[in-house]
Structure 1
Amino acid sequence: MANSYAQPILRTFDLSEGLRVVERLLAIADLRELEIDYKAHVSSTRTLTPLLEVLPWAQWHTGDDRDASSEAGDDPSAHLPIHLCAWAADPETVGAFLASLHDTPATVRWDFSGWPAAPEVGLDTGGCRGAFVTLCVNVRDLDLTEPATDHTVFVHVKQIEAERAPWLAAQIGLQVIGGLVMAPY
């Protein structure tokens, strides 16, 4: 599977504003096969415990070398900080996930069937490979390496359809606020 490319369209201190922007983007998307993917860098049991209640199937590991992990059957609370991931979750889990985070850097990615045609920029309907919206919570980047006190919304597109990102932003009254970057997953 090829990576998508993402461009930020909103940065805000108000998480509910970020969610409203996501909802406006989803309102123009083809939501067949909608699912949610999560990533978080968890450093406390205060966050870990409720996250595992919301996402009991979540996978986790420590560092890039994966010294300890859910695959090995290790206890995550004994190995903090950890990288937690959950794939293909139901949309109903978003609120509980966000409520569990406190100041933890995390991403919520909405994965769906496609973007609408953008005839103004010469693009037909966009397929699922580049059709995502990501809300970065307490972090500025998709890789979870730049902690922040604000939140950022990214639209994802195929690299060859880069002009779709500013078009999507314009459809909801916004504009891109940064460059196009390759998404990590």
Structure 2
Amino acid sequence: MGNSRAYPVFRTSDAVEAWTQALRLKALLEEHEDEVVLMADMLTVEDTRRMAAVLPNAEFCYVLPRMDPVTHDCTEFSLAITTAEDSALEPELPLEVLHYVQPGTVEEQFVRAVGKGIASIGWGGRWPDDAEAERPGAANYDGVEVVFNGDDVHLSQPADHHTVFVHVDKWGDLPRAEKLAAHLGSTVLGDAQVGW
């Protein structure tokens, strides 16, 4: 087991361009997982309402844990986003969501709903075998991830641009990452990060 290594291979200030380039890489995967991982932080009421419209069945949570002042138990976010007044929703921010969907269902709407918070779309799969790569593709490591408003796959470094990553095996297959970056007319833009 272990974690993948994720290499940044494309950056842009245009979210739709990042999404489009990520789809180009996704098309190269030989195998695809049955689910797409969507993650987002919502910083404003408007961002939260847009995301709730795209993911009506998703569970929204507090980014930072909140304690009940009487019981000192952790509290869960429980407002109905679509019907709550702005004045009730504002103090609940920031919120986050982690949701799994079937491929090809809401990803494009998700991209358009992303606001100022960090967000990502991840597609797992397996890269095809390639004589120029250091190792064969590995289904438990390989994939593509686009991070909106961020620079890292841990969604911890906000940025004013969007970054596309390729995930490779846990040993970090740099030749494969370089070839995938070249497919976009780019290069590997930084060191490998610990991925999923």
**TM-score, normalised to structure 2's length?**
0.80
Where 1:10 maps in the other structure, the secondary structure is: strand
Cα distance in 1 for partners of 2:142, 2:129 equals: 12
* Match among 91, 99, 109 for residue 112 of structure 2: 99
Which residue in 1 is equivalent to 2:54? 54
* Distance (Å, rounded) in 2 between the aligned partners of 1:156 and 1:115: 9
In structure 1, the residue matched to 2:148 is 137
Identity %, equivalent residues: 28
Q: CA deviation at 1:81?
A: 0.7
Q: Which residue of 1 aligns with 2:76?
A: 69
- CA distances 1:18-41 after superposition (whole Å, capped 9, x unpaired): 122212212211244343111111
* Conserved? CA contact 1:59–1:69, under 8 Å: no
State the alpha-carbon separation in 2 of the partners of residues 32 and 162 from structure 1: 19
Instruction: Please report how far the alpha carbon of residue 64 of structure 1 lies from its aligned counterpart in structure 2 after TM superposition.
Output: 5.2
Superposed CA offset, 1:42-90 (max 9, x none) = 12221112212211232332245464436xxx22636211121112443
Aligned-residue Cα RMSD (Å) equals 2.2
Q: Which amino acid aligns with 1:12?
A: T
1:176 equivalent in alignment to 2:183: no
- For the 8 Å contact 1:6–1:157, the answer to whether it is kept is yes
For residue 11 of structure 1, report the CA deviation from its aligned partner. 1.0
Q: How does 1:85-124 map to 2 (within 5 A)?
A: 85-112=98-125, 114-124=126-136
Cα drift, residue 17 of structure 1: 2.2
Q: CA separation in 2, counterparts of 1:28 and 1:176? A: 17
Unmatched segments (≥5 aa) in structure 2: 67-73, 82-88
Larger Rg: 2
Q: Which runs of 5+ in 1 are unaligned?
A: none
1:63 and 1:15, CA in 2 relative to 1: closer, same or farther beyond 3 A?
closer
Contact persistence 2:6–2:165 (CA under 8 A): yes
Partner amino acid, structure 2, of 1:167: K
Contact kept in structure 1, 2:172 and 2:192, CA below 8 Å: no
1:144–1:170 CA distance, 2 compared to 1 (3 A): same
Return the structure number with greater helix share: 1
Offset from partner CA, 1:92-137 (integer Å, 9 cap, x none): 311111111232221111223x10112013432x122112211111
Q: With the length of structure 1 as denominator, give the TM-score of the two structures.
A: 0.84
Deviation >4 Å, runs of 4+: none
| Count of paired positions | 179
Post-superposition offset of 1:16: 2.6
Paired amino acid for 2:44: S
Distance 1:89 1:167, change over 3 A: same
